[in-house]
Amino acid sequence: MHYPWWYVPYLTAPMLIALVAVIHMLVSHYAVGGGLFLAMETGYAYKKKDRDYLAYLRRHARFFVLLTVVFGAITGVGIWWTIGLASPLATEVLIRTFVFGWATEWVFFVVEIISAFIFLYAWGRLPEKTHVVIGWIYGAAAWISLVLITGITAFMLNPGDWPENRSFWIAFFNPQFVPQVVARTGGSLLLASLYVYLHASIVLKDLKLRELISRRSMRPALLGAILITFGGAGWYVMLPPSAMAVLPSAAVLNIFMGLIVGMTLVVFLGLYFGPYRHPNWLSPGFAGMLLVFGFGAVSTGEFIREAVRKPYVVYNVVLANQILPEEIPWLQGVGFLRGGTWTRAHVAAAYPQVLGKGDIMPARLLALPRADRLALGRVLFQYHCNDCHAEQSGYSAAAPLVRGRSPEALADMILHFRRTHFYMPPWSGTPEEAQLLGEYLAEIAPPNPTGMLLNGPRKEAK
């Protein structure tokens, strides 16, 4: 409503955000856990004067910087690009609420970049203790960045008392803050170990060194698994009521919850029977399997974390279709098309006959020719529904969901979304606009498939 809509065919804009964000998350968590691993293991190798291990750590650091600093920075910018286009109002709220938090995180991000390059490119030139300190500076800065970003993303799921008392600190230390920091710290440690397993199994031929790396990285991996378990439980306990209700209401989320449990169990058992009991099992196939299952569990968890916010982007603050909850009664009175800057300008330019006293008259919308009503119905769809639904095909496409319903039935459903679809934003327009949207949805809906149950009993062949 406050910004132009952005249409991404088939995938939808939110799923594009999810794709970019999940890729970034899988790398950024490694940036935290991998940094802590390199700092700890470099200090250990210096202490033991293990030149072979130091040589491997230097090689791993090069891979680490290339993946986390270069690719991680690109995907991080990609997140800002996609959320700015797909969810501009929610992005605006997050920037305004957390200006101090973002500024602080950027300071630590600069510290990360500088210390990472010093740690890698000054290898062998710095005194051992100084080199290790640089590694720990990177690890600490990366973890603090994780904490700061987690406070902001956790706010999106449960802002706590912020809508009543709009303090930065209330927003940051929200009910989801501690559980998600614990879970993400654990995820960072676990994913880092899985990255190390795969990298070491590919580049190293020395079996003894492989076993050493397997044993050394097993401890942070198991610690990460424990933290994920406790953090995940806290995340569930701290869900808002309607977010809690979304979980059993959506079949796909139940399936994904089962997938998380199954894939996490595979990783736990792999860690126990592999690095813990049989360090010599470290091979590209085994390590690759663990990393794939680790990616699957973490990515599925991210999908669920995002999905349970419905119908909000920022819980109780911004609805999924970029409307503030307090605007709904006003929009239901004046009209959805009239209430938005871009929609009002479009209707005034394309359909001046619906204007009265310089503004849109909802009753005149239904007097338009059918082609114009359908065109305005599509405009309503793009602004009110496009942020979650594709049109005729693609992710959560609307057309197949409304198959077989008349325009009148669809208009009635639209007007009463909250009765049966509590996880969808309530209708924020007039009854006339609901009719326009109902006509458009009926137009794009595919016909019912042919069959005995739908078309009546078949006549017996003579």
Binned average pLDDT, 10 residues per bin, the chain of 462 residues: 80 87 93 96 96 95 94 90 91 94 95 96 95 97 96 94 92 96 95 94 90 89 90 92 82 84 89 83 88 92 86 91 92 92 91 88 92 95 90 88 91 87 89 96 88 53 46
**If DSSP codes are grouped into helix, strand and coil, which group holds residue 282?**
coil
Task: Specify the pLDDT at position 462.
Answer: 44
Domains in the chain, CATH or no CATH each: 13-319 (1.20.1630), 325-444 (1.10.760)
User: Which tokens hold the place of 34?
Assistant: 């991998």
137 neighbors 42 (Cβ within 8 angstroms): no
How deeply is 27 buried, as exposed, middle or buried, from its count of CB atoms within 10 A (0-12, 13-18, 19+)?
buried
243 neighbors 233 (Cβ within 8 angstroms): no
What is the chain's alpha carbon radius of gyration, rounded to the nearest angstrom?
27
User: Which tokens hold the place of 62?
Assistant: 């090069």
Measured distance CA(187)–CA(240) in Å, rounded = 23
> Distance from CA of residue 409 to its chain's centroid?
34
User: Which tokens hold the place of 346?
Assistant: 């479009």
- The string of DSSP codes covering 291-307 is HHHHHHHHHHHHHHHHH
Task: Specify the pLDDT at position 6.
Answer: 84
Task: Specify the pLDDT at position 13.
Answer: 86
Work out the number of other CB atoms within 10 angstroms of the CB of residue 120.
Answer: 19
Whole-structure pTM value: 0.88
Measured distance CA(143)–CA(61) in Å, rounded = 17
Q: Which amino acid is at 459?
A: K
345 neighbors 411 (Cβ within 8 angstroms): no
Measured distance CA(7)–CA(370) in Å, rounded = 24
Measured distance CA(411)–CA(409) in Å, rounded = 5
394 neighbors 12 (Cβ within 8 angstroms): yes
Residues with Cβ within 8 Å of residue 61, at least 6 apart in sequence: 38, 119, 120, 123
Task: Specify the pLDDT at position 394.
Answer: 86
**If DSSP codes are grouped into helix, strand and coil, which group holds residue 312?**
strand
Task: Specify the pLDDT at position 461.
Answer: 47
Task: Specify the pLDDT at position 413.
Answer: 92
Task: Specify the pLDDT at position 376.
Answer: 96
